[in-house]
């Protein structure tokens, strides 16, 4: 097939070189590649097409692709989509990111920085720009670390409130309080994330051992393209692990097994139709409980605004770290790096170990 090609440049030689380059690209991949004169919006479109291919191939999750696409569409392109790649200096990138911080939020600014950095990295690999300007922008502040954890007495109080939630009846059926309680007990006993918890199947638990064990081997994901489905791997594949169940978690698993269908692949937290429960539906159920019991929770020292399924994982990490050290806590949570556990999950105790008194008295004397 013949293609008529033309190019405009400052000189005839440059125009001829451009036509040659385009012909070579057309004869191979068909994509002419990015140029410094292309806009950020052009680069985003080309980069997202590549990311989508990787998602289809299983190299990354569709939820990651959709997160990138949403950040690009809602935050990045409206702010700088018309800027050419060649005009993306370090200073301009910094101003784009700082504007997102000022006008939106720290979270939005962090997403803009991450995606803009990936897009510029793609442009560097395509020889459109010589270096990635996002690498040298100023650091954004770290998000404030959450420090709320549940004490045993608070866990008991929350469980009591859940058991009696809308017990007296009213309009419509009673909410699925049992799923809230069982999910809480399993997450507190295993450090599982909410998606990993509601993605458990009959074949993932072994109640014949002493103590019983549970395999974290999948999670529930939800995307616009694929809907709600169980992914046969945790959030990270390397986080696959088998965990011994403490008493309260084992009791919750037994209750879920009694309600589950008979097949090995039967979910422990299915919907009424037997399909996977979505994370958003579980969290919506939890928010409804918090709205109805706000005053009672505050009375036992629990702030409803800080309460989410993430508080269970943070509570487990803190309790295990204080009792047995950061290594075991990190292993339980499935982290590859103990610094992740300490920085994001473990809440440092206010009281320093009184052992320091004996050490200092022995060394310094008095």
Over residues 176-210, the pLDDT tens digits come to 999 999 999 999 999 999 999 999 999 999 999 99
pLDDT tens for each residue of 132-148: 999 999 999 887 767 78
State percent of the chain over pLDDT 90.
Answer: 60
Least confident of 11-15, 19-23, 160-164: 19-23
DSSP run (H or E) holding 229: strand 227-231
CB 50 within 8 A of CB 13: no
Examine the pLDDT at 279 and tell me if it is beyond 80.
yes
Mapping DSSP to helix (H, G, I), strand (E, B) and coil, where does residue 272 land? coil
Confidence of residue 350 (pLDDT cuts 50, 70, 90): low
d(CA 248, CA 244): 12
- What whole-number percentage of the chain has pLDDT above 70? 89
What local confidence, expressed as pLDDT, does residue 24 receive?
Answer: 65
**pLDDT at res. 32:** 59
Output the six-digit token pair for 360: 């200092």
Task: Give 124's DSSP letter.
Answer: H
pLDDT at 154 over 70: yes
DSSP 201: B
Q: Are 310 and 191 in contact (CB under 8 A)?
A: no
215 burial level (CB within 10 Å; 0-12, 13-18, 19+): middle
Are the CB atoms for 25 and 31 separated by under 8 Å? yes
Residue, of 311 and 342, whose pLDDT is higher: 311
- Quickly count: other Cβ atoms within 10 Å of residue 1's Cβ: 2
In this prediction, residue 346 carries a pLDDT of 75
- For residue range 42-85, list pLDDT tens digits in order: 999 999 999 999 988 888 888 899 999 999 999 999 999 999 99
Of the candidates 266, 251, 252, 234, which has an alpha carbon nearest to the alpha carbon of residue 333? 234
pLDDT of residue 342: 79
Mean per-residue pLDDT for 18-29?
Answer: 63
The more confidently predicted of residues 101 and 336 is 101
pLDDT at residue 135 in the model: 95
Cβ(234)–Cβ(250) below 8 Å: no
| Rounded Cα gap, residues 129 and 50, in angstroms | 18
**Residue 206 gets which letter from DSSP?**
E
Q: With a cut of 90, say whether residue 353 has pLDDT above it.
A: no
Per-residue pLDDT band at 338 (split at 50, 70, 90):
confident
Q: What pLDDT, on the 0 to 100 scale, is given for residue 109?
A: 95
At residue 7, the pLDDT reads: 67
- Helix ranges (H only) for the chain are 12-28, 40-57, 62-71, 77-80, 90-103, 106-125, 152-163, 177-190, 194-198, 247-259, 279-292, 294-299, 310-324, 326-333, 338-344, 355-364
* 316/313 Cα distance (integer angstroms): 5
On average, the pLDDT of the chain sits at 87
Q: What whole-number distance in Å separates Cα of residue 80 and Cα of residue 41? A: 8
Write down the pLDDT at residue 13.
Answer: 82
**pLDDT at residue 9 above 60?**
yes
**Coil vs helix vs strand at 361:** helix
CB 124 within 8 Å of CB 88: no
Once rounded to an integer, what is the mean pLDDT over residues 86-111? Answer: 95
Residue with the two structure tokens 């670390």: 145
List all residues 6 or more positions away from 137 whose beta carbon is below 8 Å from its beta carbon: 90, 93, 94, 97, 113
Question: Which of the residue ranges 235-244, 246-255, 330-339, 351-360 would you say has the lowest mean pLDDT?
Answer: 351-360
Looking at per-residue confidence, does 167 or 40 come out higher? Answer: 40
């Amino acid at each position: 097939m013949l293609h008529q090609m033309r190019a405009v440049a400052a000189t005839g030689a440059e125009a001829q070189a451009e036509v040659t380059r385009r012909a070579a690209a057309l004869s191979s991949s068909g994509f002419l590649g990015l140029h410094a004169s292309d806009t950020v919006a052009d680069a985003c479109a080309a980069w997202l097409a590549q990311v989508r291919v990787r998602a289809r191939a299983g190299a990354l999750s569709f939820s990651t692709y959709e997160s990138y696409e949403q950040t690009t569409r809602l935050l990045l392109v409206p702010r700088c989509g018309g800027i050419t790649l060649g005009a993306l200096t370090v200073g301009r990138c910094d101003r784009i990111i700082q504007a997102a911080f000022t006008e939106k939020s720290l979270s939005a600014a962090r997403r803009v920085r991450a995606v803009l950095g990936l897009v510029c990295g793609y442009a560097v690999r395509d020889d459109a720009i010589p270096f990635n300007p996002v690498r040298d922008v100023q650091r954004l502040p770290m998000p404030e670390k959450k420090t709320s954890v549940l004490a045993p007495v608070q866990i008991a109080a929350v469980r009591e409130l859940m058991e009696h939630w809308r017990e007296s009846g009213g309009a419509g059926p009673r909410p699925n309080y049992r799923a809230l309680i069982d999910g809480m007990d399993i997450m507190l006993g295993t450090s599982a994330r909410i998606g990993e918890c509601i993605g458990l199947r009959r074949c993932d638990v072994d109640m014949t051992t002493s103590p019983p064990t549970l395999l974290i081997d999948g999670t529930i994901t939800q995307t616009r393209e694929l809907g709600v489905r169980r992914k046969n791997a945790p959030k990270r594949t390397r986080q696959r692990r088998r965990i011994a169940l403490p008493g309260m978690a084992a009791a919750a698993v037994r209750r879920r097994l009694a309600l589950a269908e008979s097949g090995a692949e039967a979910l422990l937290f299915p919907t009424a139709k037997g399909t996977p429960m979505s994370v958003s539906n579980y969290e919506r159920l939890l928010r409804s409980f918090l709205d109805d019991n706000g005053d009672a929770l505050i009375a036992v020292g629990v702030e409803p605004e800080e309460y989410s399924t993430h508080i269970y994982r943070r509570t487990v990490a803190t309790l295990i770290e204080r009792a047995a050290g950061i290594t075991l806590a990190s292993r339980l949570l499935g982290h590859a790096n103990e610094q992740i556990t300490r920085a994001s999950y473990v809440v440092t105790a206010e009281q320093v170990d009184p052992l320091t008194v004996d050490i200092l008295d022995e060394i310094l004397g008095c």
